[in-house]
């Protein structure tokens, strides 16, 4: 049975981006349903499709609904063991990074909403946001140690979790250097990320609340 993935707008929905990238990376067939987030009735639409929180993304496997990006990652890893590294220590660290992104970086997300096609935007960078940026840079500086640009050798779940942050840095002009800059560029230029960004560029519709920093 084909999976079905419930997504938000591709230009704006960072969590949808992560789930979509993982599905494409694994190489499994799935159907897409786009729900225009922040529009009237959007949460009810998602809930009607099986996402009990009304938030995207939601993965449907037959009658089973899995919501929340990390839950989707873990479900997919059980079915298609390629989300996380094969080494146990790398797998634990990759999951730690993913969980940190999932539960943290709230100040960065609030000040710099995902808007992948925008350029030259500026946001007020508070001390809390500076901490989020410094933490991101510290993690990214650990990339490239296993014969590839990525955090743990093969492009995987931890890298995908950071991909929307790379788009935020691009949108809001956050300057990087060294390994962190190389890693951010590698994320933005990954073929699957580039495909998602092109879809967001072509997508109609604007969410005013995410069009900040003009």
Distance between CA atoms of 50 and 143, rounded to whole angstroms? 37
Shared domain for 78 and 38, answered yes or no, is yes
Q: 169: domain CATH number?
A: 1.20.1050
Q: Average pLDDT over the chain, rounded to whole?
A: 96
Last residue of a domain, one of 60, 82, 104: 82
Shared domain for 69 and 99, answered yes or no, is no
Shared domain for 39 and 53, answered yes or no, is yes
117 neighbors 200 (Cβ within 8 angstroms): yes
Shared domain for 77 and 98, answered yes or no, is no
User: Is 209 within a domain?
Assistant: no
The total of structural domains in the chain comes to 2
3-state secondary structure of 8: coil
Shared domain for 12 and 60, answered yes or no, is yes
Whole-angstrom CA distances from 84 to 23, 180, 190 are 13, 21, 18
Last residue of a domain, one of 82, 104, 126: 82
Last residue of a domain, one of 51, 82, 113: 82
Overall average pLDDT of the 75-92 stretch:
97
Overall average pLDDT of the 74-103 stretch:
97
Displacement of CA 3 from its chain's centroid (Å)? 19
Distance between CA atoms of 43 and 35, rounded to whole angstroms? 9
Shared domain for 60 and 148, answered yes or no, is no
Distance between CA atoms of 198 and 191, rounded to whole angstroms? 10
User: Is 192 within a domain?
Assistant: yes
* Buried residues in 187-210 as b, exposed as e (16+ CB within 10 A): bbebebbeebbebbeebeeebeeb
Shared domain for 27 and 122, answered yes or no, is no
User: Is 8 within a domain?
Assistant: yes
User: Is 210 within a domain?
Assistant: no
* pLDDT tens for each residue of 11-70: 999 999 999 999 999 999 999 999 999 999 999 999 999 999 999 999 999 999 999 999
Distance between CA atoms of 128 and 114, rounded to whole angstroms? 18
* pLDDT tens for each residue of 150-174: 999 999 999 999 999 999 999 999 9
pTM of the model: 0.97
52 neighbors 119 (Cβ within 8 angstroms): no
Which domain, by its residues, includes 105? 88-200
User: Is 138 within a domain?
Assistant: yes
pLDDT band at 213 (very low <50, low <70, confident <90, very high): confident
> Greatest CA separation found in the chain?
48
Distance between CA atoms of 67 and 44, rounded to whole angstroms? 14
pLDDT band at 2 (very low <50, low <70, confident <90, very high): confident
Q: Where are the beta strands (DSSP E) in the chain?
A: 3-7, 30-34, 58-61, 64-67
* pLDDT tens for each residue of 107-158: 999 999 999 999 999 999 999 999 999 999 999 999 999 999 999 999 999 9
Distance between CA atoms of 86 and 160, rounded to whole angstroms? 17
Shared domain for 93 and 184, answered yes or no, is yes
Q: 42: domain CATH number?
A: 3.40.30.10
């Amino acid at each position: 049975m084909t999976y079905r993935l419930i997504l938000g707008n591709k230009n704006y929905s960072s969590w949808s981006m992560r789930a979509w990238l993982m599905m494409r990376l694994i190489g499994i067939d799935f159907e897409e349903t786009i729900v225009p987030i922040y529009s009237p009735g959007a949460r009810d639409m998602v809930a009607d499709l099986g996402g009990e929180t009304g938030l995207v993304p939601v993965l449907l496997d037959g009658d089973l609904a899995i919501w929340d990006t990390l839950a989707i990652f873990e479900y997919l890893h059980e079915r298609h063991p390629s989300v996380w590294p094969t080494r146990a220590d790398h797998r634990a660290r990759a999951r730690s990074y993913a969980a940190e992104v999932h539960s943290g970086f709230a100040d960065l997300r609030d000040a710099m909403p995902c808007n992948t096609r925008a350029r030259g935007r500026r946001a007020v960078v508070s001390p809390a946001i500076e901490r989020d940026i410094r933490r991101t840079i510290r993690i990214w500086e650990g990339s490239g140690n296993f014969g590839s640009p990525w955090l743990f050798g093969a492009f995987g779940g931890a890298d995908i979790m950071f991909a929307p942050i790379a788009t935020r840095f691009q949108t809001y002009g956050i300057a990087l250097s060294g390994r962190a800059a190389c890693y951010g560029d590698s994320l933005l230029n990954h073929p699957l990320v580039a495909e998602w960004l092109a879809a967001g560029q072509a997508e109609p519709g604007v969410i005013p609340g995410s069009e900040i920093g003009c």
